[in-house]
Chain A
Amino acid sequence: MLSVKGLRANVGDKEILRGLDFEVGPGEVHAIMGPNGSGKSTFAHVLSGREGYEVTAGSVTFEGKDLLALEPEERAQLGLFLAFQYPVELPGVNNTYFLKAALNSIRKARGEEELDAVSFLRLIKERLKILHLDDSLLKRAVNAGFSGGEKKRNEIFQMALLEPKLAILDETDSGLDIDALRVVADGVNALRSAERSMIVVTHYQRLLDYIQPDHVHVLSKGRIIRSGGKELALELEEKGYGWIDAEGQAA
């Protein structure tokens, strides 16, 4: 589904991703952990096509297409979704209008019919329930004045609505209280399926108790330095990243 090979990317003249290899198959959940500044968000942004990053080497294929050649909206239409670490506030842009524009843009690109107002509302009401979100959020401007937790839940709500093939969750757990974390995790789990894959970026083992990953990777200084099963996350929680770095040095 997603295949990243030898990916290198710069911001300005600073190299952030330094030869990253990454494979995701259908239905798989991958966790990426790693210290602050190691390049996790940069990786997520490069995948989703944000400006300001220069890819200097490597390739990314998604669903058989050269992902890096596509515009951000084309990537989304192909089934890629990024839940932002810092969701952007859009003052004056009504949430319902935004969701409808997003959903219908994606449906149109897939050759499906646009949803009419009634079926659209039915759909969002149903998805809101999964995330325990209040209807009133729909009337407000996108993320504007939302609490940190509401913003994160709104990201997962959008994911539930847009039904991507591959979702990248960039620290969706940070800033959530314990109840909200469970709600978000339940939402994510409800969306797991044999076709839908996920990349979950997190600093905390706690999230991985709820969303059980198939694979755990450690990103450090722009490279994957260790991959394993979910027990790797436990080990990291216990020993910190220093442990792998030290081991890497020793080897």
Chain B
Amino acid sequence: MNGDMPTGFASWLAHERSCDAGIDWLDARRRNAAERVREQGVPSSRDEGWRYTNLKGLLEQGFLQPDEPITALQPDDLEEVLVPGLASHRVILVNGRFVPELSLLEDLPPGVRVSGLASLLASDPDVLKDRLNAVAGDDLALFAALNTAGLDDGVVALVDRGVLLERPIELIHVSVGLDEPRVAQPRNVIVLGAGAQAIVIERYLSLGDSLYCTNCVTEVSLGRDAVLKHDRIQTESPSAFHISGLYLRQDANSRYLGVNLGLGARWARTDLNATFGGEHAECDLQGLYLAGDGQLMDYHLDVDHSVPNCASRENFKGILYGKGRAVFDGRVFVAQDAQKTDAAMSNRNLMLSESAEVDTKPQLEINADDVKCSHGTTVGQIEPEMLFYLRSRGISAPLARRMLCLGFAGEIIERLSAEALRDQVSELVGQRLESAPLS
């Protein structure tokens, strides 16, 4: 099946899967996904969506999928992985695979099911038949197709109708360096039934600064009136490649409040896709990224207003320093009969050096006439007035710059769902800026 895979990707799929249960519908989906990979091949810079990105660096790594369960993470390592003071129902995955011994799922209330994807496919595959790949669909983009073709493990979180889950579900994706560079392709499936409310925190991080690739896909489906707070925090190793696809589908009256933080990795490509299946739903996508020397933070948003009366917010902020680069490619589509759509997209960038670079391209495609849509972008520097005000109070120039950057980032950080998380992220951003060159 992998015979004529594009060079560079073949090795991503050449492995023994931990969930080959001979499930017909699953095999069909994998085959279709592999076909999609073959059809699309390796995109070039002539392809819209890949204009600013060169995949050569990724492909020449020859990443392999891990072929055996990883036990490298010991309970002692947990301290490095956990957020102090954050109480959660926690799922730990190491190099893409669910590690039940390190996870903490005993206290889940009735009506909430959280399990490893592979083990659920082995024990109760029917639960997933209408849920796995349901939001991402068959017409998969390249990396989502790779993730599906190589489907191996991940997390499934199902919150039944009407259940209000208090404590967050935390999905911790840890990468541990191995002898050979590996690609992990976890799949997260989050489903909230009608009227359910939950918080999901999705984190990607590493122990050490080794080279690896994460190609994750998260599918989120919200029933009528459901509310999901979803924090996605990427702090991968500085040598890592991180590719992330979010596929979101919202029924009527549901609310999605998402915060995307891109703080690590050498190249992080994030695709956020949102669609509405009913009216009066609200989708809020907030983002913050930091890019320094050798880093590219690459965002592609696609919000599809095909239903009337829905609202979406896309608010992304970036801090760039050294030779850091970022791409913000935001698209909001409003269908002809999606009247009363309310959409506002904004991308603001703070440039701390002359050699940093950002390509920002917000696009509104509006086909309805009674809508409220806006977009705005800024690319600016720290205001000298503000810097002087702080310095006139005795604060050194580097600290003053850092304070202003944190002030800029604060608008996004403060939306994270837990104080423990906000504290940790503020500190991390502060540290990153402390080591940033000032020109």
Q: How far is the CA of A50 from the CA of B385 in the complex (A)?
A: 9
Q: What residue in chain B is nearest A80 (Cβ atoms)?
A: B392
* A141 pairs with B407, CB closer than 8 A: yes
Say if the beta carbon of A48 comes within 8 Å of chain B. Answer: yes
* B394 pairs with A93, CB closer than 8 A: no
Query: Chain B 294-317 against A: per-residue CB contact (8 Å), 1 yes, 0 no?
Result: 000000000000000000000000
Say if the beta carbon of B272 comes within 8 Å of chain A. Answer: no
* B389 pairs with A105, CB closer than 8 A: no
Q: What residue in chain B is nearest A50 (Cβ atoms)?
A: B388
* A93 pairs with B404, CB closer than 8 A: yes
Say if the beta carbon of A76 comes within 8 Å of chain B. Answer: yes
Say if the beta carbon of A158 comes within 8 Å of chain B. Answer: yes
* B392 pairs with A92, CB closer than 8 A: no
Q: Which residues of A contact B400 (CB under 8 A)?
A: 73
* A73 pairs with B391, CB closer than 8 A: yes
Q: Which residues of B contact A72 (CB under 8 A)?
A: 388, 391-392
- Of residues B384, B392, B399, B404, which shows the largest number of chain A Cβ atoms within 10 Å of its Cβ? B392
Q: Least Cβ distance of B47 to chain A in Å? A: 37
Q: How far is the CA of A200 from the CA of B302 in the complex (A)?
A: 57
Q: Which residues of B contact A76 (CB under 8 A)?
A: 391-394
Say if the beta carbon of B40 comes within 8 Å of chain A. Answer: no
* A88 pairs with B385, CB closer than 8 A: yes
Within 8 A of B (CB), among A49-86: 49-52, 71-73, 75-77, 81-82, 84
Q: Which residues of A contact B395 (CB under 8 A)?
A: 73, 101-102, 105
Q: How far is the CA of A90 from the CA of B399 in the complex (A)?
A: 14
Q: How far is the CA of A84 from the CA of B385 in the complex (A)?
A: 11
With A90-B404, A92-B411, A93-B404 as contacts: A73 and B389 at CB distance below 8 Å:
no
Q: How far is the CA of A71 from the CA of B400 in the complex (A)?
A: 13
Q: Which residues of A contact B385 (CB under 8 A)?
A: 88
Q: How far is the CA of A158 from the CA of B392 in the complex (A)?
A: 11
Q: Which residues of A contact B411 (CB under 8 A)?
A: 91-92
* B406 pairs with A162, CB closer than 8 A: no
Say if the beta carbon of B8 comes within 8 Å of chain A. Answer: no
* B391 pairs with A90, CB closer than 8 A: no
Query: Chain B 375-416 against A: per-residue CB contact (8 Å), 1 yes, 0 no?
Result: 000000000111011111111110110011011111100000
Q: Which residues of A contact B393 (CB under 8 A)?
A: 73, 76, 98, 102, 105-106, 158, 162
- Of residues B396, B404, B408, which shows the largest number of chain A Cβ atoms within 10 Å of its Cβ? B396
Q: How far is the CA of A90 from the CA of B382 in the complex (A)?
A: 11
- Of residues A77, A93, A102, which shows the largest number of chain B Cβ atoms within 10 Å of its Cβ? A93
Q: What residue in chain B is nearest A164 (Cβ atoms)?
A: B394
Q: Least Cβ distance of A127 to chain B in Å? A: 15
Say if the beta carbon of A115 comes within 8 Å of chain B. Answer: no
With A87-B389, A92-B410, A98-B390 as contacts: A51 and B403 at CB distance below 8 Å:
no
Q: What residue in chain A is nearest B403 (Cβ atoms)?
A: A93
* A92 pairs with B406, CB closer than 8 A: yes
Contact pick for A106, options B388, B394, B410, CB 8 Å:
B394
Query: Chain A 36-57 against B: per-residue CB contact (8 Å), 1 yes, 0 no?
Result: 0000000000001111100000
* B407 pairs with A90, CB closer than 8 A: yes
With A71-B397, A101-B399 as contacts: A92 and B391 at CB distance below 8 Å:
no
Name the 7 nearest CB pairs between A and B, nearest first: A92-B407, A76-B394, A102-B393, A93-B407, A92-B410, A88-B389, A72-B391
Q: Could you jot down 15 A-B contacts, CB within 8 Å? A: A71-B391, A73-B397, A76-B392, A88-B389, A90-B403, A90-B404, A92-B408, A93-B406, A98-B393, A101-B395, A102-B393, A102-B395, A105-B396, A105-B399, A106-B393
